[in-house]
C-alpha cells in the first residue's frame, strides 16, 4: 500500500514533466484536477491501512503527541528565510520508529499545523505527502550509530530540505506564471525543455528558501539529534514498540 501510494503521489507532484500531448488527460486541464482529487483519497487509504496493521495504541498515542509538538513548533520558524524546525522532528521520529510511522507523522504533523495556522488550502495535501516522504525516507536509511548516524541524518536533512521545496514548486509551477515567461511550463514540450525551465524557475524563486530549510534541518540534527534519538529510543524500548 505504501509503495503504491508513494508512486501515485510522485506522479501527482511530477505531472508537469510527464505531460504528453497524446495522453488521455491532456489538453483540457483535467490532469491537475484529477491528481488533486486523488491525493486526499491516497492519504486516507494509507493512514487507515497503517493504522490497522502497523500502529498499535501506544504508537498512535505517541504519534498524536509528536504531531502536536510538531504543529506547535512549526510557527516558530516558518516564514523566516525558509527556516523550519518541523522537519527535524519528522526525520528523527522516522529514523527511530520506521518508514511507516515517519510517513504518517509527516502527514499528521502538517495537517495539525495547518489547522493551527489557518493554512488549509489546495496546497495542504501536497504539503502533507511531501512531509510524509521526509519521514518515510528517514526510516529507510542504512543502520548506523554514533557520529556516523548524525552525519547521515544531517546530510539527509539537507537533501530533503531541497527535495521538499522542489516537489512543492513542481506541483504548482504550471499555475504560477503566465504562458509567455521563459520559466513557464510548456504543455506538450519535451521533458528536457520543461525540466530546464523548471530548474531556472526554482533557482530564481525558491533557492533561498530551500537552502534555509536544508541548513536548519542539518543544524538541528547536529545540535539536538543525539539527545532526541536517545529520548525516542528509550520511549520505544519502554513502550515495547515493534
Q: Structural domain boundaries of the chain?
A: 36-240
Cell of 200: 531556472
Task: Tell me which residue of 208, 137, 136, 205 sits closest to 170, measured CA to CA.
Answer: 205
Q: Are 135 and 99 in contact (CB under 8 A)?
A: yes
**Residue 241 reports pLDDT greater than 90:** no
| Mean pLDDT of all residues in 209-223 | 91
**Residue 73 reports pLDDT greater than 70:** yes
Q: Could you identify the residue written with the cell 521526509?
A: 134
Amino acid 193: pLDDT: 85
pLDDT digits (tens, 9 = 90+) for 23-51: 555 545 555 666 666 666 666 666 665 56
Structure-model confidence comparison of residues 242 and 10, the more confident one? 10
> Is the CATH code 1.10.1760.20 the one for domain 36-240?
yes
Structure-model confidence comparison of residues 187 and 132, the more confident one? 132
Q: 3-class DSSP state for residue 185?
A: coil
d(CA 138, CA 102): 7
Amino acid at each position: 500500500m505504501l509503495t503504491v501510494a508513494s508512486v501515485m503521489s510522485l506522479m501527482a507532484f511530477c505531472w508537469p514533466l510527464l505531460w504528453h500531448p497524446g495522453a488521455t488527460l491532456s489538453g483540457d486541464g483535467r490532469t491537475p484536477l484529477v491528481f488533486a482529487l486523488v491525493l486526499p483519497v491516497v492519504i486516507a487509504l494509507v493512514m487507515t491501512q497503517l493504522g490497522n496493521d502497523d500502529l498499535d495504541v501506544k504508537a498512535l498515542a505517541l504519534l498524536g503527541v509528536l504531531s502536536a509538538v510538531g504543529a506547535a513548533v512549526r510557527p516558530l520558524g516558518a516564514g523566516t528565510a525558509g527556516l523550519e524546525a518541523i522537519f527535524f522532528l519528522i526525520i528523527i521520529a522516522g529514523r527511530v520508529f520506521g518508514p511507516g510511522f515517519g510517513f504518517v507523522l509527516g502527514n499528521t504533523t502538517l495537517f495539525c499545523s495547518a489547522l493551527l495556522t489557518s493554512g488549509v488550502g489546495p496546497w495542504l495535501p501536497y504539503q502533507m505527502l511531501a512531509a510524509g516522504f521526509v519521514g518515510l525516507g528517514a526510516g529507510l536509511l542504512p543502520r548506523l550509530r554514533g557520529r556516523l548516524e548524525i552525519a547521515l541524518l544531517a546530510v539527509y536533512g539537507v537533501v530533503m530540505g531541497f527535495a521538499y521545496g522542489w516537489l512543492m514548486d513542481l506541483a504548482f509551477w504550471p499555475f504560477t506564471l503566465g504562458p509567455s515567461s521563459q520559466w513557464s511550463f510548456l504543455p506538450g514540450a519535451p521533458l528536457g525543455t520543461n525540466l530546464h525551465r523548471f530548474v531556472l524557475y526554482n533557482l530564481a524563486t525558491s533557492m533561498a528558501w530551500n537552502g534555509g530549510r536544508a541548513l536548519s534541518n542539518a543544524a538541528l540534527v547536529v545540535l539536538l539529534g543525539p539527545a532526541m534519538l536517545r529520548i525516542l529510543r528509550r520511549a520505544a524500548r519502554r513502550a515495547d514498540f515493534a
